[in-house]
Amino acid sequence: MIFTHAFAGAILGKYLKEKMQIEDVVGEKETTTTSKSLTRNVSLIYFFSILGSIFPDFDLLLLVFNQTLHHRYLVTHSLVLYSMFFCVALLFRKKFNIRFIPYFYLGVCLHLLLDFFAGGIVLFAPVSYKLFGMQFRYFGSAKINFVDMYFKSNYMLFELGLFFSYILFVFQKETNFIARKLPFILLIVSIVTLGIFVVL
């Protein structure tokens, strides 16, 4: 998936915000400081959920140097690596203010889950590089370039489903700036990046 991991992260952020019962609108008795603190916490929940949901794809930068790599076969698409870092972070949670790390970790897990259903991932790398998940399918002729193949693939069903879910559940109902703007900014970055890879 290229375009909508950030939208999925925003949907996750919306769910986590509601689960934590953090509201955008505070009661009239709340002070301005409390209101700012709640708004900041909501923004951080969205930010770390979205950041986690796109983080595994930062390995795409390696394709600039080696286009023979398939980024989903790298350790960045393994649950093992992130789970180890998360466990270490939990050990130091009292020493450092890392209360938003779980949102990042859940965002990463969501990314891996979506990639599992849209092509597969090396779930247990570096222990095993066996690919787990559903394989890539496309609807068209065998002689087709990557971009055309991608737009005719089962990936696009996930992309469209996530995008419309985001519009329905987050964009129309949420007032938070990060929840409403950051996914679109990252969408533009994804489109520009894809354009650069096509030109290279």
pLDDT tens column, 72-82:
888 899 999 99
Q: Which of 192, 73, 143 is nearest to 200 (CA)?
A: 192
| pLDDT surpassing 50 at residue 26 | no
3-class SS string, 17-84:
HHHCCCCCCCCCCCCHHHHHHHHHHHHHHHHHHHHHHHHHHHHHHHHHCCCCCCHHHCHHHCHHHHHH
Per the structure, the complete domain to which residue 193 belongs is given by 5-199
Query: Tell me, what's the pLDDT at 144?
Result: 53
Check residue 168 and give its pLDDT. 95
> How many domains is the chain partitioned into structurally?
1
Average confidence (pLDDT) over 1-8: 82
* Nearest CA-CA partner of 81 in 110, 114, 122: 122
User: What's the confidence (pLDDT) of residue 27?
Assistant: 45
